[in-house]
């Protein structure tokens, strides 16, 4: 299926097809549509286009849809995971990235249908298979959430 999805035209971006190759997540839990501004495994910006058709809005909250903060954190983690997998792809073997922890999480404003969430990720440090990332979520240039994400690269099970 991913062979039919076009590759990102820029070297510093990942299309949805490339994201699907890098991450094990699928609908309805894939929280990023595209990744841009990739600087190796140092930084990147993930994009999530929030629509009214998101299944979560059936219950969060009827008549007042708000994209859950925990899914914003997940979008941050998926963006970090995708750039790590892309950067490490030439090292051989199939790996996945697991979230180990979230620190200093703050939610400043809600996001909802029609918003384009940008997940800005910057590497704080990485030692062997564990990395720590500063993550900021923005809508229209305004910070809506921020956190520090710790993740570990592990071999994918066959």
Instruction: Classify residue 64 by its DSSP letter.
Output: S
Among 28, 131, 26, 128, CA closest to 83: 131
Q: Report yes or no: 71 and 31 within 8 Å, Cβ to Cβ.
A: yes
Mark whether 87 is an active-site residue.
no
> Cβ contacts of residue 45 below 8 Å, gap of 6+?
35, 36, 37, 79, 118, 119, 120, 121
Widest CA span in the chain: 48
Residue from 25, 60, 87, 120 carrying the catalytic annotation? 60
Active-site residues: which are they? 60
């Amino acid at each position: 299926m991913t062979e039919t999805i076009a590759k990102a035209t820029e070297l510093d971006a990942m299309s949805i097809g490339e994201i699907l190759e890098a991450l094990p997540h699928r609908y309805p839990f894939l929280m990023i549509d595209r990744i841009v501004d990739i600087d190796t495994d140092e930084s990147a910006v993930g994009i999530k286009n929030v629509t009214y058709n998101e299944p979560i809005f059936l219950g969060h909250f009827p008549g007042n849809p708000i994209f859950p903060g925990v899914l914003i954190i997940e979008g941050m983690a998926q963006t970090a995971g995708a750039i790590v997998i892309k950067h490490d792809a030439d090292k051989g073997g199939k790996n996945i990235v697991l979230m180990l922890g979230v620190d200093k999480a703050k939610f400043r404003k809600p996001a909802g249908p029609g918003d384009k969430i940008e997940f800005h990720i910057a590497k704080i440090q990485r030692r062997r298979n564990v990395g720590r990332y500063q993550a900021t979520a923005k809508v229209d240039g305004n910070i809506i959430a921020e956190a520090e994400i710790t993740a570990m690269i592990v071999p994918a099970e066959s």
